[in-house]
Chains A and B, each alone.
Chain A
Amino acid sequence: MATALPQRYLHPVAQLLSGSLVERLRRRDRAAFTELCHSHRDRLYAIALSVLRDREEARDALQDTLTSAWRSIDQLQDDTALGAWLGRIVLNHARMRLRSRRRKPMELVDDFETWFSADGHRASDPPVWPRADDAIDRARFANRLGELAAGLPEELHVVWALADVQHLSMQEIVDLTGLHLANVKTRLHRARLLLRERLGAEIGRPA
C-alpha cells in the first residue's frame, strides 16, 4: 500500500489542494496524523515525564495520548489549537496515572497557617538552607526535591511540574489545565513553599 507523503514534502500548490492539516486530520488522513504526532512528540513526552517522573510511565502516557487523539480527532476545531488540544490529552493521561499510583495518603500536606503565630511572624525559625554550590550536593538536593515533589497533593504537583520543571508559561498552563491564572499562581506558590519547607527540614541547618 502506498503511503501518502507528509504535508511538508508536498509542493505548496499540492499543500493547498490537499487542505489544511486539521482538515486532513478530520478526514482521518494517516499521514497527517503521523506528521502531527512527530511534530509534537518531544513536547508531549516532556509534559508526561515532568508530571510522572518515570520514563516507562511517561512512554505509556504518550501511547495513551496518541490513541485518544486518533479516536477523538473529529472533535478538532482549528489548526491553531492543535498543540493545546494534544497537551490537554497528555496531561489528563499523566494525571490519571499519577492518581492510580497514589494509594497512600499524602505526606506533604502541611498547614500553612501553623507556620505563623497570631501576630503574623514565624512561630519558629525554619532551618537555614545550605549553599548548594557543589555540583554533587546540588544534584543530590535536586534528586531529593523530585522525590519530595511526588508527595505533593496532585493539584499542586501538576502545576509545579509544568511551571518549574517543564518551564511552561503561565498561559500555557492555563490552557492545559483549564484553571484560572490566579489559581495556577496560588497552587504554584503553595507547592514551592511546601517543598522548600520540607526540603529545608532535611538539608538545612538550625537557624
Chain B
Amino acid sequence: MTCKELTERVMAFRDRELPLSTRLSLQFHAAMCPCCRNLLTSYDTLVEMSAELADVQVPDELAREFDDMILTAMRPPT
C-alpha cells in the first residue's frame, strides 16, 4: 500500500469498513511510515476537535422570542 492509497482509505479504516486484508496492509504501511502514522492520529484529533465546535444550547434570547418567530411565519405574505 502506498501513502496515497492509505490516505484515501483513512475514513473507511476508522469506520471499520475495510476488509481484513486491506486493514492489515494499511496497518503494516503505517507501522513503517511516520508520515502516515501522523495522518492516522491527526485525523482522529481533527474529528474530536470538530465535535467541540457544536453549540448545543439554544440561546435564551431565541428561546424567549421563538413564539413570536412562529407568529411571524404564519403571517400572510405582504
Contacts and interface: CB of A to CB of B under 8 A. Distances in A.
A138 B52 contact: yes
Q: Which 4 A-B pairs have the closest CB atoms?
A: A120-B2, A66-B73, A164-B50, A129-B42
Interface of A: 30, 33-34, 37-38, 41-42, 45-46, 49-50, 53, 55, 59, 62-63, 66-67, 69-71, 115-116, 119-122, 125-126, 128-129, 132, 138-139, 141-142, 145-146, 149, 160, 164-167, 185, 188-189, 192-193, 195-196, 199-200, 207
Interface in B27-78: 34-35, 38-39, 41-43, 45-47, 49-56, 58-59, 62, 66-67, 69-70, 72-74, 77
Nearest to A200: B42
A120 B74 contact: no
A70 B73 contact: yes
Q: Which secondary structure dominates where chain A touches chain B?
A: helix
Contacts of B16: none
Given A165-B53, A192-B43, A207-B35, 14 more contacts: A37-B66, A45-B58, A62-B69, A63-B72, A67-B73, A122-B3, A126-B38, A129-B38, A132-B49, A164-B50, A165-B50, A165-B54, A189-B11, A196-B43
Interface of B: 2-5, 7-8, 10-11, 34-35, 38-39, 41-43, 45-47, 49-56, 58-59, 62, 66-67, 69-70, 72-74, 77
A45 B62 contact: yes
B22 to A, nearest CB: 15
B7 A193 contact: yes
Q: Which secondary structure dominates where chain B touches chain A?
A: helix
B69 A66 contact: yes
B49 A141 contact: yes
B78 to A, nearest CB: 12
A34 B67 contact: yes
13 contacts: A34-B67, A50-B53, A55-B55, A59-B59, A62-B69, A63-B73, A69-B73, A116-B3, A125-B35, A167-B54, A185-B11, A188-B11, A196-B42
